[in-house]
Amino acid sequence: MEINEDILIRYIDGMLTEEEAVEIKDWRAVSPANEKMLEQVYFTTQVACRLRVMQTVNLDEALSRFKSRIHKKKRKLALRRALNSIQQLAAMLFIPFFLLSVYLFIQQSQGNVRMLTVRTNPGVVSAFDLPDGSKVWLNANSELRYPSDFDADTRRVELTGQGYFEVTKDAHKPFIVTVDKNYSVEVLGTSFNISAYKDENMIETTLVEGTVKLNVLSGGKQMTQMLRPNEKAKYRKGTGKIKVVDVNTEYDTAWKNGEIIFRNHPMNKVLKTLERHYHVVFDVKDNDILKSIITARFKDEQLPQVLEYLRLASGIQYAVHKPTAKSGGPGISVIEISK
């Protein structure tokens, strides 16, 4: 089950099945980021609910009935009842008024627009819609920041990791993906893949259809590079240089459908991809192993099956060690690779 805001709202409203609710609870327990995302969705739904309640209150009519009761009763009794009515009215309106105040404060403090963040855990691919209807797939260990509503001139998002975008066309609002302080991708309506993990020196942009413009800042000068469908741009961070090659886009986008495809990939890149997908760490004992070239296609295979294929394809030996404090985090196994 894909975890997105719609699913979380249904969970909060108690509209999920028991099995689905258990999945959400397990997802929530995986990381503090998931816990925070659920809290943000809950707070937003509560604010919206309270606002709807406030909109249904006719204050003029309520005040008119209140005055009428005062004139019909004795002054002392009317005063006592007036005080009770005021207390009840204050109790009824205080909570939504408080929530509204907090909501408006957050809106004002962030320029009337909330910044939302979607993060994916290792081995998880998340799909969701942006405010303009554009669709996004996030690969494992990735993050996308975007506003709750795009401004009048641009649709700007920030990506860390790998994402696939199907952008809704809008000739008046270019869609801009910022992935590095010196690198961004600008489009109007198109489908493309970006790989920009922090622990890699290369940013890769693969165009599936449409047109994209790459903006690169180098030495204080802005440079641009246009891409055509079935082209990939390789940019080495900090160099200002872009290399464009023809590719089969299936290899770079298969991950969004749960597949991993290697075609003449060096072993170092293969192991890096498998680390993110299976949430493990590889300890390579012989650097010559990294020179091996791998071609393979995996879908839904368990890690032992993948390791066995690598052993047969490249002659490596492997040993899986249980998670320790030094392995990089709880639940992360270390896989020793040797000749």
Task: Give per-residue pLDDT as tens, 17-35.
Answer: 777 777 877 777 777 777 7
**Tokens, residue 337:** 């690779």
Give the global pTM. 0.64
pLDDT exceeds 90 at position 104: no
pLDDT at 56: 47
Question: Pairing state of beta strands 333-338 and 280-284?
Answer: parallel
Q: What confidence category does residue 57 fall into, taking pLDDT thresholds of 50, 70 and 90? A: very low
- Are 253 and 208 spatial neighbours (Cβ–Cβ below 8 Å)? yes
Strand positions, DSSP E, the chain: 115-119, 126-129, 135-138, 143-147, 155-166, 175-180, 183-187, 191-196, 202-209, 212-218, 221-227, 231-236, 242-246, 259-266, 280-284, 293-299, 317-321, 333-338
pLDDT exceeds 80 at position 281: yes
Please name every residue paired with 148 in a beta bridge, in sequence order, or none if there are none: none
Whole-Å CA distances, 76 to 83, 89, 339: 11, 20, 95
Backbone angles phi, psi at 307, to 5 degrees: -65, -40
pLDDT exceeds 60 at position 235: yes
pLDDT > 70: what percent of the chain? Answer: 75
Higher per-residue pLDDT: 271 or 95: 271
CATH 2.60.120.1440 given to domain 115-251? yes
pLDDT exceeds 90 at position 322: no
Of 80-94, 137-151, 291-305, 324-338, the poorest mean pLDDT is in: 80-94
pLDDT exceeds 80 at position 5: no
pLDDT exceeds 90 at position 143: yes
pLDDT exceeds 70 at position 259: yes
pLDDT exceeds 90 at position 96: no
pLDDT at 284: 92
What is the CA angle 228-231-232, rounded to 5? Answer: 130
CATH number of 258-338: 3.55.50.30
Amino acid, res. 5: E
Question: How would you label 230-266 residue by residue, b for 16+ Cβ within 10 Å and e otherwise?
Answer: ebbbebebeeeebebeeeebebbbbbbeeebbbeebe
Q: Using one digit for the tens of pLDDT, what is the confidence trace for 175-223? A: 999 998 889 999 988 999 999 999 899 999 999 999 999 999 887 788 8
Q: Using one digit for the tens of pLDDT, what is the confidence trace for 295-315? A: 999 988 888 999 999 999 888
Whole-Å CA distances, 25 to 6, 41, 52, 106: 15, 15, 28, 28
Q: Using one digit for the tens of pLDDT, what is the confidence trace for 151-183? A: 878 999 999 999 999 999 998 899 999 998 889
Q: Which residue has the tokens 């739904």?
A: 45
- Are 282 and 274 spatial neighbours (Cβ–Cβ below 8 Å)? yes
Q: What confidence category does residue 45 fall into, taking pLDDT thresholds of 50, 70 and 90? A: low
**Tokens, residue 86:** 């005021």
Average pLDDT, the chain: 80
- Are 138 and 144 spatial neighbours (Cβ–Cβ below 8 Å)? yes
Higher per-residue pLDDT: 129 or 37: 129
pLDDT at 245: 95
Q: Where are the domains of the chain?
A: 5-109, 115-251, 258-338
